[in-house]
Structure 1
Amino acid sequence: MKIMFRKVTLLPVIVAVVFVFPGAGTAQEVSVDDTLHLTLDKALEIALSENPLIKVADKEIEKVDYSRKEAWAGLIPSISAEGSYSRNVKKPVLFLSEDMAGGLGGGSSTIEIGSDNSYSAAISAAMPLFNMSLFKSIQMTDVEMKSALESARQSRINMINEVKKAYYNCLLANDSYNVMFRSLQNARENYENIRRMFDQGAAAEYDVIRSEVQVRNLEPSLTEAKNGRKVSALMLKILLGIDSDIPLGFDENLEAFKELIEGMPSAPDQDLSNNSDIRQLDIQKLQLDKQFELTRAQRFPTLSAFINYQFQTQANHFRFDDYQWATPIVAGLQLQIPIFSGFSKRYQEKQVEVSMEQLKYQRENVERQVSVSVLNAYSSMEAAAQKIESARVAVRQAGRGYEISQARYQTGAGTLLELNDAEVALTQARLNLNQARFDFLTARAEYEKTLGTNLPEFAELPGSSEETGME
């Protein structure tokens, strides 16, 4: 007997996590002796708190926040201090005219100035009063924060999608294992019944041999299904960031998502405003707008205030108590007006304008691709929903057919071949139903990911809507 059993396949993101974050298996502290019982919501909550990719995205928000604070610090007065000591190994001289030299009673035309030792110290403070470039730079960091928040949101959306698929893989593997286990039990019961009938002379030896072969053929399929459960569980553990030795228990099966399947939307959603790729492009448009304003702000004059407080003295000895210190104070305003820079600023503005046009075309293309992805995911959901209805009827009919074939064989009206065919049909119908449910749930996860609507409340970033300016 050949049972069509689909193997669980590894998701590409899992391999990436294994190589990039080899220590991801130690994040969740759960005793190996304890079973970690999971629901879909609990699995998502663990992944969003323990997965290294999510932590990297959150750290990026923290880094951009410090960058924003650094930009604001440009408005705060800056204070600096400096000091110096110099030794005049050979003092500078002042050249005198012959008349001045004669008036001083000497024939020399030079005179040494200064002292052997020279000391100076200064405290300076400066503060911008008007700097349009600085103001625009601060606004630019606000947009960078929006971009970081949206990147973190996108990481969560992608992680939720991967966790859902991995979780559904586990449920499919478990349900498929249960189907194969029931099929093997049925084959063993048939074998025992036929052997008793043979002992009583009511069945042929061929039927005993054939029923035993049926059991032997099913045992490898059950082993394969068991290995599929292990592989799918390992995939999920990596995404959750838990140790591979922790046993998992699932409090749900594919049938538990009956309401989600029956609640399929009547038509594909056309609102793409929450799609993360489109939102990122909109934020890039804001960045280009601010970059253009920043470039244009370089045409404005800048005005700053400063004050300088100095300590100065000179002496030919080191008797510090006898020093006389001079303390000049200088304060003022500094104005800089750009006049001409060789048209460089104009060319910079043109570059930004071209980038805006490129982004416009790119957004149109991405929007079309996202629309197609939504339609494809919805079509997959529709096809899977139809398969589910057909598979349900097939399971019900195959179950009834198996009961009839059992009764016919026990009364001598049916053959072993008929009984085996009925059992194979029932097993295949159950596997097809599980696969159809799995196909629908994975298509639904992809549909929600594309629309950007699959974020549960505990996955929302605090203040993300206010920061990004997007609802």
Structure 2
Amino acid sequence: MLNRQLLVIACMLFISSIACAQENLGLSLEDAINYAIENNREVKDANFDVIAAKKRVNEVTGMGLPQVSGSFDYTYYAKIPTTLIPGEAFGEDAGSLIPVSFGLKHNATAGVEASQLIFDGSYIVGLQAARTYRELSRKELEQTEVETKYLVAKAYYNVLVNDERMEMVLANETRLKKLRDDTKALYENGFAEKLDADRLELSYNNILVEKENTKRSLEIGIYLLKFQMGMDYTQEVTLTDKIEDVVLEPISPETEEEAFKQRPEYEVLRVQYELAKLDHRKNNYAYLPQLVGFGSLQTQAQRNEFNIFDSNEQWYSFGLVGAKLSVNIFSGFQRSAKSQQSKITMHKVENGLEAMREGIKLEIAESRSNYSNSLARLEMQKNNKALAEEVVRVTQIKYSEGLGSNLEVTNAETSLRESNSNYYNTLFEAIVAKLDYDKAKGNINK
């Protein structure tokens, strides 16, 4: 009985967990962006790069700290090496050699060695470069976050526009269905021609096709939004923002001279320029000497029998300290060539910075122009949409009162469908143009 109860409870918990996993999640644009910053795969990779850069700084810093190591080695001489010594010292003939074997079979040595880098110009520059590289990884993270915010916002607004488009299509479908059914009834009772009924049937079928196309666009748009956010595609979401909340206002004239400083990609290139300068300096510092201090303490045991670890036997210790100065005298002109190459790289990055400044100014001007033009087109399409809706309303009234033709109604419906499509396409273009302008100005974070 107890086992059955436990099984029931486990099943209920499992079903509950599935239900929670599939719970519909409400998302504002801000929520979607915040979720993406935490879960987007490219942002995650950029965060990993920041962590790796911090570890790189620790690694380079460690090169300038004391390096300490310990060692223990044991050697067994199956046959002790032989050394030849002059025989004259032992009363032998001049020029004779006497073979002598020195040493014991069992030898062990334990020791501790330490070294300290005292001066190395390349190390100093390398440490600066590691810290600058850490700054570069942070700037690249910021650039990735900005691009992610832009793509999430674009995908979010795409869903909002298609959702609004779907509502309009459904309203048109309802109106056309009623008109089609009424005309069909009139035809069946001999009060309308078959051609009239067929025209409305065709218009109704067209609106059904448009509904399916809009539905697929909406589904793909939601999937794209989840992808940009790094969200599981099975998670149900509902967008809480409304298309009416989007503010599309004309741009007031303003200076763009310092806008490039707000662009993360410019900051990335600026830090790359700092790295290029440090690389050039490192190659120049290669001419400087390197000074390293070192010390060693060792103890040694020699035995005829394997009793190395016998505490009653004696070990013999010795130690040393010293310093080593290394100077590069001639390297076959390699250092000079490396220095010249790094200087060329530095100038190329500097030229890239200047080109990016000019490119950003051009991008801002183009995006401002595109946005202003899209606002003008949007206003025109909005008026066309309102006019088409009014034409449909009037033609339907005339048709119901017997004063208009069925052809006028179908033509008006076709014009309305085209006007709606043009309006929503232009609306999305205007929203994207505004995003492009904000991105060009470096305001996508604001």
TM-score normalized by the length of structure 1: 0.81
Superposition deviation, residue 438 in structure 1: 0.5
Q: Return the match for 2:249 from 245, 250, 262.
A: 262
* 2:375 aligned with 1:375: no
CA distance in structure 2 between the aligned counterparts of 1:76 and 1:30, rounded to whole angstroms: 56
Deviations 1:296-324 (A, max 9, x none): 22222222222211102323334544533
- Give the distance between the partners of 2:287 and 2:271, measured in 1 at CA: 25
Aligned length: 422
Q: What is the aligned counterpart of 2:158 among 155, 164, 169?
A: 169
Contact 1:117 1:316 in 2 (8 A): yes
Identify unmatched segments of 5+ residues in structure 1. 1-28, 457-471
Correspondence 1:340 to 2:334: no
Structure 2 residue 287 is matched with structure 1 residue 299: yes
Seen in structure 2, the aligned counterparts of structure 1 residues 208 and 346 have a Cα distance that, compared at 3 Å, is closer
Give the Å deviation of 1:279.
2.2
Is 1:143 the equivalent of 2:129? no
Summarize the Cα distance change of 1:318–1:225 in structure 2 as closer, same or farther, 3 Å threshold.
closer
1 CA distance for matches of 2:250 and 2:373? 15
Amino acid at match of 1:262: E
In the alignment, which of 24, 30, 33 is matched to residue 44 of structure 1?
A: 33
Task: After TM superposition, give the deviation of residue 195 of structure 1 in Å.
Answer: 5.3
Local SS of the residue matching 1:328: strand
SS state at 1:380 partner: helix
Greater shift in the superposed pair: 30-39 or 181-190: 30-39
Letter in 2 for 1:327: S
Which of 284-293 and 384-393 deviates more?
384-393
2:421 counterpart of 1:455 = no
Contact 1:31 1:246 in 2 (8 A): no
Question: In the alignment, does 2:64 pair up with 1:75?
Answer: yes
CA apart distance, 1:31: 4.5
Taking the aligned partners of 2:256 and 2:167, their CA distance within structure 1 comes to 36
C-alpha separation between the residues in 1 aligned to 2:81 and 2:409? 118
Tell me by how many angstroms 1:265 deviates: 4.7
Pair 1:192–1:119, CA change in 2 (3 A): closer
Aligned mates of 2:19, 2:373 — CA distance in 1: 40
**Which residue does the alignment assign to 1:286?**
274
Contact 1:254-1:438 at 8 Å conserved across structures: no
Superposed counterparts of 1:380-419, under 5 Å: 380-419=370-409
Gaps of 5+ in 2: 1-17
Per the TM alignment, residue 86 of structure 1 is displaced from its structure 2 partner at its CA by 2.7
State the alpha-carbon separation in 2 of the partners of residues 116 and 449 from structure 1: 78
* Match in the other structure for 2:216: 227
SS at match of 2:74: strand
The SS at the match of 1:327 is strand
Aligned pair in 2 of structure 1 residues 338, 97: CA closer, same or farther (>3 Å)?
same
Aligned residue number for residue 93 of structure 1: 83
| Corresponding residue of 1:184 | 173
Structure 1 residue 256: Cα displacement: 2.2
Q: Does the 8 A contact of 2:80 with 2:104 survive in 1?
A: no
Q: In structure 2, how many angstroms separate the alpha carbons of the residues matched to 1:129 and 1:137?
A: 15
Q: What SS class does the counterpart of residue 332 from structure 2 fall into? A: coil
- Does residue 102 of structure 1 match 2:106? no
Larger RCO, structures 1/2 (Cα 8 Å, 6+ apart): 1
Note if contact 2:35-2:229 (Cα within 8 Å) is conserved in structure 1: yes
TM score, norm. by length of structure 2: 0.85
Q: 1:268 to 1:239 in 2, by over 3 A?
A: farther
Contact 2:60 2:130 in 1 (8 A): yes
Q: Residue type matched to 1:186 in 2? A: R
Post-superposition CA distance 1:346-371 (Å, at most 9, x none): 22111111112222333333333333
